[in-house]
Protein backbone atom coordinates (compact mmCIF):
# COMPACT_ATOMS: atom_id res chain seq x y z
CA UNK A 1 0.00 0.00 0.00
CA UNK A 2 1.15 3.54 -0.79
CA UNK A 3 0.45 6.75 1.14
CA UNK A 4 0.36 10.00 -0.83
CA UNK A 5 -0.44 13.60 -0.04
CA UNK A 6 -1.02 17.07 -1.45
CA UNK A 7 -0.18 19.57 1.29
CA UNK A 8 -1.44 22.98 0.23
CA UNK A 9 -1.96 26.35 1.84
CA UNK A 10 -5.74 26.03 1.62
CA UNK A 11 -6.44 22.29 1.65
CA UNK A 12 -4.56 19.07 2.27
CA UNK A 13 -5.41 15.79 0.55
CA UNK A 14 -4.20 12.46 1.90
CA UNK A 15 -4.80 9.14 0.16
CA UNK A 16 -3.99 5.44 0.35
CA UNK A 17 -3.29 3.70 -2.96
CA UNK A 18 -2.77 0.16 -4.13
CA UNK A 19 0.42 -0.30 -6.12
CA UNK A 20 0.20 -0.63 -9.90
CA UNK A 21 2.85 -0.68 -12.59
CA UNK A 22 1.53 2.52 -14.27
CA UNK A 23 -0.97 4.47 -12.16
CA UNK A 24 -1.60 3.49 -8.53
CA UNK A 25 -5.24 2.71 -7.73
CA UNK A 26 -6.86 4.85 -5.06
CA UNK A 27 -8.18 2.96 -2.06
CA UNK A 28 -9.31 5.88 0.15
CA UNK A 29 -8.71 9.61 0.46
CA UNK A 30 -9.70 12.53 2.68
CA UNK A 31 -9.60 16.30 2.27
CA UNK A 32 -8.81 18.61 5.18
CA UNK A 33 -8.73 22.38 5.59
CA UNK A 34 -5.08 23.16 6.25
CA UNK A 35 -5.88 26.11 8.52
CA UNK A 36 -7.75 23.78 10.91
CA UNK A 37 -4.50 22.08 11.99
CA UNK A 38 -1.40 23.22 13.86
CA UNK A 39 0.99 20.89 12.07
CA UNK A 40 1.15 18.28 9.34
CA UNK A 41 1.62 15.58 11.96
CA UNK A 42 -1.83 16.56 13.28
CA UNK A 43 -3.25 16.03 9.78
CA UNK A 44 -1.66 12.59 9.53
CA UNK A 45 -3.02 11.68 12.97
CA UNK A 46 -6.51 12.72 11.86
CA UNK A 47 -6.21 10.72 8.63
CA UNK A 48 -5.03 7.66 10.56
CA UNK A 49 -8.11 7.88 12.77
CA UNK A 50 -10.36 8.29 9.71
CA UNK A 51 -8.64 5.65 7.55
CA UNK A 52 -6.40 3.40 9.66
CA UNK A 53 -3.03 2.70 8.07
CA UNK A 54 -2.42 -0.88 6.98
CA UNK A 55 0.11 -2.96 8.89
CA UNK A 56 2.74 -2.00 6.35
CA UNK A 57 2.98 1.12 4.23
CA UNK A 58 5.38 0.34 1.40
CA UNK A 59 6.23 3.96 0.58
CA UNK A 60 5.11 7.54 1.22
CA UNK A 61 5.37 10.58 -1.03
CA UNK A 62 4.02 14.01 -0.14
CA UNK A 63 3.77 17.07 -2.37
CA UNK A 64 4.24 20.29 -0.39
CA UNK A 65 3.43 23.84 -1.52
CA UNK A 66 6.89 25.12 -0.67
CA UNK A 67 10.59 24.44 -1.12
CA UNK A 68 12.00 21.01 -0.23
CA UNK A 69 15.63 20.74 0.86
CA UNK A 70 17.45 17.77 2.39
CA UNK A 71 14.35 15.90 3.50
CA UNK A 72 12.68 18.97 5.01
CA UNK A 73 9.90 21.11 3.57
CA UNK A 74 8.35 24.40 4.61
CA UNK A 75 4.72 25.02 3.74
CA UNK A 76 5.03 28.60 2.52
CA UNK A 77 1.47 29.74 3.28
CA UNK A 78 1.39 28.29 6.82
CA UNK A 79 4.96 28.08 7.99
CA UNK A 80 4.74 24.36 8.80
CA UNK A 81 8.02 22.46 8.94
CA UNK A 82 7.58 18.96 7.55
CA UNK A 83 10.31 16.33 7.64
CA UNK A 84 10.87 12.87 6.21
CA UNK A 85 11.72 11.61 9.70
CA UNK A 86 8.47 12.93 11.15
CA UNK A 87 6.41 11.20 8.46
CA UNK A 88 8.38 7.97 8.81
CA UNK A 89 7.69 7.87 12.56
CA UNK A 90 3.97 8.44 12.09
CA UNK A 91 3.49 6.00 9.20
CA UNK A 92 6.15 3.42 10.11
CA UNK A 93 7.24 3.51 6.45
CA UNK A 94 10.86 2.91 5.47
CA UNK A 95 10.62 4.77 2.16
CA UNK A 96 9.49 8.41 2.43
CA UNK A 97 9.93 11.24 -0.02
CA UNK A 98 8.99 14.92 0.14
CA UNK A 99 8.42 16.78 -3.13
CA UNK A 100 7.45 20.28 -4.09
CA UNK A 101 3.74 20.16 -5.00
CA UNK A 102 4.39 21.06 -8.65
CA UNK A 103 7.05 18.38 -8.82
CA UNK A 104 4.42 15.95 -7.53
CA UNK A 105 1.89 17.23 -10.08
CA UNK A 106 4.49 16.74 -12.80
CA UNK A 107 4.63 13.04 -11.93
CA UNK A 108 0.95 12.79 -12.93
CA UNK A 109 1.18 14.09 -16.49
CA UNK A 110 2.29 10.78 -18.03
CA UNK A 111 -0.65 8.89 -16.46
CA UNK A 112 -3.52 11.34 -16.96
CA UNK A 113 -6.41 10.16 -19.12
CA UNK A 114 -7.78 12.19 -22.04
CA UNK A 115 -10.86 13.18 -20.01
CA UNK A 116 -8.61 14.66 -17.31
CA UNK A 117 -7.21 17.38 -19.57
CA UNK A 118 -8.64 20.05 -21.87
CA UNK A 119 -6.55 20.82 -24.95
CA UNK A 120 -5.91 24.50 -25.69
CA UNK A 121 -3.39 23.85 -28.46
CA UNK A 122 -2.64 20.55 -30.17
CA UNK A 123 0.84 21.68 -31.16
CA UNK A 124 3.29 19.16 -32.58
CA UNK A 125 3.98 16.65 -29.77
CA UNK A 126 7.57 15.44 -29.64
CA UNK A 127 7.93 12.20 -27.66
CA UNK A 128 11.67 12.79 -27.31
CA UNK A 129 11.29 16.25 -25.74
CA UNK A 130 10.65 17.53 -22.22
CA UNK A 131 7.54 19.05 -20.68
CA UNK A 132 6.58 21.61 -18.04
CA UNK A 133 3.80 22.35 -15.56
CA UNK A 134 2.47 25.68 -14.29
CA UNK A 135 -0.30 26.00 -11.73
CA UNK A 136 -2.06 29.00 -10.21
CA UNK A 137 -4.04 28.40 -7.03
CA UNK A 138 -3.33 29.66 -3.53
CA UNK A 139 0.11 30.46 -4.97
CA UNK A 140 1.84 29.98 -8.33
CA UNK A 141 4.05 26.98 -9.00
CA UNK A 142 6.17 25.77 -11.89
CA UNK A 143 8.05 22.53 -12.57
CA UNK A 144 10.12 21.07 -15.38
CA UNK A 145 10.14 17.54 -16.79
CA UNK A 146 13.40 16.52 -18.41
CA UNK A 147 13.52 13.60 -20.84
CA UNK A 148 16.01 11.06 -19.47
CA UNK A 149 16.45 7.53 -20.80
CA UNK A 150 13.12 7.76 -22.58
CA UNK A 151 11.03 8.92 -19.60
CA UNK A 152 10.00 12.27 -18.17
CA UNK A 153 11.73 13.10 -14.88
CA UNK A 154 10.24 16.01 -12.88
CA UNK A 155 12.39 18.75 -11.38
CA UNK A 156 11.10 21.30 -8.88
CA UNK A 157 11.45 25.07 -9.04
CA UNK A 158 10.31 28.13 -7.12
CA UNK A 159 9.47 29.96 -10.33
CA UNK A 160 6.32 31.51 -8.89
CA UNK A 161 8.51 33.72 -6.72
CA UNK A 162 10.42 35.13 -9.69
CA UNK A 163 9.83 38.75 -10.68
CA UNK A 164 6.63 39.53 -12.57
CA UNK A 165 7.38 40.89 -16.06
CA UNK A 166 4.88 43.50 -17.23
CA UNK A 167 4.27 43.60 -20.98
CA UNK A 168 2.39 46.85 -21.54
CA UNK A 169 1.64 50.23 -19.96
CA UNK A 170 -1.40 48.92 -18.10
CA UNK A 171 0.49 46.07 -16.48
CA UNK A 172 3.28 48.51 -15.61
CA UNK A 173 0.72 50.70 -13.87
CA UNK A 174 -0.57 47.67 -11.96
CA UNK A 175 2.98 46.67 -10.98
CA UNK A 176 3.62 50.22 -9.79
CA UNK A 177 0.59 49.96 -7.50
CA UNK A 178 1.82 46.67 -6.04
CA UNK A 179 5.42 47.85 -5.76
CA UNK A 180 4.34 50.87 -3.73
CA UNK A 181 2.51 48.53 -1.37
CA UNK A 182 5.08 45.79 -0.93
CA UNK A 183 8.28 46.57 -2.80
CA UNK A 184 9.19 43.65 -5.02
CA UNK A 185 6.39 42.13 -7.15
CA UNK A 186 6.44 38.34 -7.66
CA UNK A 187 4.66 36.43 -10.39
CA UNK A 188 2.25 34.97 -7.84
CA UNK A 189 1.29 38.50 -6.72
CA UNK A 190 -0.60 38.52 -10.04
CA UNK A 191 -1.15 34.84 -10.91
CA UNK A 192 -2.78 33.26 -7.86
CA UNK A 193 -5.84 33.68 -5.69
CA UNK A 194 -4.36 36.76 -4.07
CA UNK A 195 -3.39 37.90 -7.56
CA UNK A 196 -7.04 37.91 -8.62
CA UNK A 197 -7.78 40.09 -5.60
CA UNK A 198 -4.90 42.42 -6.48
CA UNK A 199 -6.19 42.72 -10.05
CA UNK A 200 -9.69 43.42 -8.72
CA UNK A 201 -8.33 46.27 -6.60
CA UNK A 202 -6.45 47.64 -9.60
CA UNK A 203 -9.35 47.54 -12.06
CA UNK A 204 -11.73 49.08 -9.51
CA UNK A 205 -9.25 51.88 -8.78
CA UNK A 206 -10.01 51.64 -5.08
CA UNK A 207 -13.73 52.10 -5.68
CA UNK A 208 -16.56 49.93 -4.44
CA UNK A 209 -17.72 46.80 -6.22
CA UNK A 210 -21.43 46.00 -6.13
CA UNK A 211 -20.79 42.29 -6.69
CA UNK A 212 -17.69 41.50 -4.60
CA UNK A 213 -17.89 43.50 -1.40
CA UNK A 214 -15.41 41.56 0.77
CA UNK A 215 -11.89 41.09 -0.56
CA UNK A 216 -10.46 39.80 2.73
CA UNK A 217 -12.15 36.40 2.97
CA UNK A 218 -10.92 33.09 1.61
CA UNK A 219 -13.71 33.06 -0.99
CA UNK A 220 -12.77 36.43 -2.48
CA UNK A 221 -10.73 35.08 -5.45
CA UNK A 222 -13.56 32.73 -6.46
CA UNK A 223 -16.06 35.58 -6.12
CA UNK A 224 -13.95 37.80 -8.39
CA UNK A 225 -13.64 35.11 -11.07
CA UNK A 226 -17.36 34.26 -10.92
CA UNK A 227 -18.30 37.92 -11.26
CA UNK A 228 -15.89 38.24 -14.16
CA UNK A 229 -17.25 35.17 -15.95
CA UNK A 230 -20.87 36.24 -15.50
CA UNK A 231 -20.26 39.79 -16.67
CA UNK A 232 -22.21 41.15 -13.72
CA UNK A 233 -19.36 43.57 -13.04
CA UNK A 234 -17.33 44.90 -15.95
CA UNK A 235 -14.39 45.79 -13.73
CA UNK A 236 -14.35 42.21 -12.42
CA UNK A 237 -14.47 41.00 -16.02
CA UNK A 238 -11.53 43.30 -16.76
CA UNK A 239 -9.59 41.83 -13.82
CA UNK A 240 -10.25 38.30 -15.09
CA UNK A 241 -9.14 39.24 -18.62
CA UNK A 242 -5.90 40.68 -17.24
CA UNK A 243 -5.38 37.49 -15.22
CA UNK A 244 -5.92 35.16 -18.18
CA UNK A 245 -3.69 37.21 -20.46
CA UNK A 246 -0.87 37.35 -17.90
CA UNK A 247 -1.30 33.60 -17.26
CA UNK A 248 -0.94 32.89 -20.98
CA UNK A 249 2.13 35.11 -21.24
CA UNK A 250 3.90 33.47 -18.28
CA UNK A 251 2.98 30.00 -19.59
CA UNK A 252 4.56 30.96 -22.90
CA UNK A 253 7.66 32.15 -21.02
CA UNK A 254 7.85 28.75 -19.31
CA UNK A 255 7.47 26.99 -22.66
CA UNK A 256 10.43 28.97 -24.00
CA UNK A 257 12.57 28.27 -20.93
CA UNK A 258 11.79 24.55 -20.93
CA UNK A 259 11.33 23.84 -24.68
CA UNK A 260 8.41 21.71 -23.56
CA UNK A 261 7.51 20.12 -26.89
CA UNK A 262 6.09 17.09 -25.06
CA UNK A 263 3.52 19.37 -23.46
CA UNK A 264 2.91 22.44 -21.35
CA UNK A 265 0.38 21.53 -18.63
CA UNK A 266 -1.70 24.07 -16.72
CA UNK A 267 -2.72 22.78 -13.31
CA UNK A 268 -3.91 24.32 -10.08
CA UNK A 269 -7.32 25.14 -8.72
CA UNK A 270 -8.08 28.28 -10.74
CA UNK A 271 -7.86 27.22 -14.41
CA UNK A 272 -10.58 24.51 -14.29
CA UNK A 273 -12.96 26.98 -12.60
CA UNK A 274 -12.48 29.61 -15.31
CA UNK A 275 -12.38 27.31 -18.34
CA UNK A 276 -14.66 29.55 -20.45
CA UNK A 277 -12.11 32.35 -20.03
CA UNK A 278 -9.15 29.99 -20.57
CA UNK A 279 -10.64 28.68 -23.82
CA UNK A 280 -11.81 32.08 -25.14
CA UNK A 281 -8.58 32.57 -27.09
CA UNK A 282 -7.08 35.26 -24.88
CA UNK A 283 -4.80 32.85 -23.04
CA UNK A 284 -3.36 31.39 -26.23
CA UNK A 285 -3.00 34.82 -27.86
CA UNK A 286 -0.71 35.86 -25.02
CA UNK A 287 1.02 32.46 -25.01
CA UNK A 288 1.89 32.79 -28.70
CA UNK A 289 2.94 36.46 -28.57
CA UNK A 290 6.65 35.58 -28.43
CA UNK A 291 8.12 37.03 -31.62
CA UNK A 292 10.57 36.09 -32.99
CA UNK A 293 9.90 32.73 -31.29
CA UNK A 294 6.15 32.56 -32.00
CA UNK A 295 6.61 29.68 -34.47
CA UNK A 296 8.48 27.79 -31.76
CA UNK A 297 5.77 28.10 -29.07
CA UNK A 298 3.12 27.25 -31.69
CA UNK A 299 4.60 23.73 -31.70
CA UNK A 300 4.05 23.23 -27.94
CA UNK A 301 0.99 21.14 -26.94
CA UNK A 302 -0.92 23.09 -24.26
CA UNK A 303 -3.37 21.35 -21.91
CA UNK A 304 -5.36 22.31 -18.82
CA UNK A 305 -5.43 19.62 -16.13
CA UNK A 306 -9.03 19.33 -14.89
CA UNK A 307 -8.40 16.52 -12.39
CA UNK A 308 -8.35 18.38 -9.06
CA UNK A 309 -6.41 15.49 -7.49
CA UNK A 310 -3.47 15.66 -9.92
CA UNK A 311 -0.93 16.41 -7.17
CA UNK A 312 -2.22 13.48 -5.12
CA UNK A 313 -2.08 11.18 -8.15
CA UNK A 314 1.44 12.34 -8.97
CA UNK A 315 2.58 11.83 -5.38
CA UNK A 316 1.22 8.28 -5.55
CA UNK A 317 3.19 7.70 -8.77
CA UNK A 318 6.33 9.02 -7.05
CA UNK A 319 5.70 6.72 -4.05
CA UNK A 320 5.24 3.79 -6.41
CA UNK A 321 8.65 4.51 -7.96
CA UNK A 322 10.26 4.23 -4.52
CA UNK A 323 9.43 0.53 -4.45
CA UNK A 324 9.65 -0.27 -8.16
Give strand ranges (E) for 107-253. 117-121, 131-136, 140-148, 151-156
Query: Do residue 157 and residue 49 come from a single domain?
Result: no
Give me the mean pLDDT over the 69-80 stretch. Answer: 87
Give strand ranges (E) for 24-104. 25-33, 59-64, 68-69, 72-75, 80-83, 96-100
pLDDT of residue 78: 83
Tell me the pLDDT tens digit for each residue of 13-67. Answer: 999 999 998 899 999 999 999 999 999 999 999 999 999 888 789 999 999 998 9
Query: Do residue 279 and residue 232 come from a single domain?
Result: yes
Query: Do residue 133 and residue 282 come from a single domain?
Result: yes
Query: Do residue 90 and residue 129 come from a single domain?
Result: no
Nearest to 166 by CA among 208, 204, 202: 202
What is the radius of gyration, based on Cα positions, of the chain? Answer: 20
Q: What is the CATH number of the domain that holds 206?
A: 3.40.367.20
Q: Which residues contact 114 (CB under 8 A, 6 or more apart)?
A: none
Tell me the pLDDT tens digit for each residue of 272-303. Answer: 999 999 999 999 999 999 999 999 999 999 99
Q: Within 126-233, where are the H helices?
A: 169-182, 193-203, 220-230
Give me the mean pLDDT over the 135-140 stretch. Answer: 94
**Cα(187)–Cα(191) distance, integer angstroms:** 6
pLDDT of residue 53: 81
Nearest to 144 by CA among 60, 247, 256, 270: 256
Number of domains in the chain: 2
Query: Do residue 313 and residue 276 come from a single domain?
Result: no
Query: Do residue 76 and residue 10 come from a single domain?
Result: yes
Q: Which domain holds residue 290?
A: 114-306
Give me the mean pLDDT over the 250-272 stretch. Answer: 97
Kind of pairing between the strands at 2-7 and 263-267? unpaired
Tell me the pLDDT tens digit for each residue of 121-132. Answer: 999 999 999 999
Query: Do residue 150 and residue 58 come from a single domain?
Result: no
For residue 292, say if its preceding peptide bond is cis, omega within 30 degrees of 0: yes
Query: Do residue 147 and residue 84 come from a single domain?
Result: no
Query: Do residue 61 and residue 137 come from a single domain?
Result: no
| Cut 0.85: pTM above it | yes
Nearest to 277 by CA among 312, 237, 313: 237
Query: Do residue 94 and residue 160 come from a single domain?
Result: no
Query: Do residue 6 and residue 31 come from a single domain?
Result: yes
Q: What is the CATH number of the domain that holds 49?
A: 3.30.420.40
Query: Do residue 42 and residue 100 come from a single domain?
Result: yes
Amino acid sequence: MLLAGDIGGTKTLIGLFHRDHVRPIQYASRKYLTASFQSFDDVLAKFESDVPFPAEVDAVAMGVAGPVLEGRATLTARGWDITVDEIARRTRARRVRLLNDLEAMAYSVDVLNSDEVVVLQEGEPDPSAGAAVIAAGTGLGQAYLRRMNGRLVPAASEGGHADFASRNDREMEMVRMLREERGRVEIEDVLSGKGLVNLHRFTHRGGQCDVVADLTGAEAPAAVSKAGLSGRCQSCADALRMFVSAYGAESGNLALRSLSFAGLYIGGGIAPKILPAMTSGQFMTAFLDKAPMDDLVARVPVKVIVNSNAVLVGAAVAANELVS
